[in-house]
Structure 1
Amino acid sequence: MNNVFAELPLSPMPAEQLLELLAQPGLRIERIVSTGQSSPPGFWYEQALGEWVLLLQGEALLRFEDEPQARHLKAGDYVDIAPRRRHRVDWTPPEQASIWLAVHYGSAADRG
């Protein structure tokens, strides 16, 4: 596959679809397709590496623990998430695919 819009799911899925597009030391790029998924109640991502995400298609509510309200992302919006910054996905619409491009960056030493 050489197109981020190729092989998209045709209907809602029970879980997000993750596809690694590139992996190099200190860098991983993946496509994430959401069809109504959100983070489980009380769950927060707290990743050792930085993550830059771009919403290519769809919408999402992205919440950071240190902000009072979720950010409403639409196609074209991006955000850089610092390592260990707690965040979660509060909502993605079930009637359309939300396609994310996620770039994880940092060194193996940062994972500790």
Structure 2
Amino acid sequence: MTNNIFANIPSQLPQELFEDIVSTGSVRIERIVSKGHTTPSDEWYDQEEHEWVMVLQGEAKLLFEEGMREVEMKAGDHIIISAHQRHQVSWTKPDSETIWLAVFYK
């Protein structure tokens, strides 16, 4: 049986959608769907694992606490976020879905 990363997206997204595709003891692969969603300005992701993340569709901006550096991402762009590198999603395209593929690893 096959699945499609672009399928089964709800028509309404009151919150970001996080779905594990694969999860083992050492790696987790996740699909994230955003539509105008951002991280609250007073919250930071501070993860135990490293994260490789790619925008498959749409556009987004990530803000990194160190140096308050903002990175723009569009379809096909990917980045490695080291463990404990504090960051936020500062913007996602509000009028269409941004689909992310994230791989978390130790």
TM-score bracket, shorter-length normalisation: over 0.9
1:82-106 Cα distance to aligned partner (Å, 9 max, x none): 0000000001111000000000001
- Which SS does the other structure have where 1:90 is aligned? strand
The structural deviation recorded for 1:24 is 1.2
Alpha-carbon separation, structure 1, partners of 2:68 and 2:36: 23
TM-score (norm 1): 0.89
Match of 1:74 in 2: 74
Q: In structure 1, list runs of 5 or more residues that go unmatched.
A: 107-112
Identity %: 45
Please give the per-residue CA displacement for 1:43-71, whole angstroms capped at 9, x wherever unaligned.
Answer: 11000110100000000010111134311
RMSD: 1.1
Aligned counterparts, 1:30-41, within 5 A: 30-41=30-41
Give the whole-Å Cα distance in 2 for the aligned partners of 1:67 and 1:38: 19
CA distance in 2, matches of 1:20, 1:42: 26
More strand by share: 2
How many residues align? The count is 105
Q: TM-score, normalised by structure 2?
A: 0.93
Give the counterpart letter for 1:29 in structure 2. I
The 3-state SS of whatever aligns with 1:67 is helix
Runs of 4+ in 1 over 2 A off after TM superposition: none
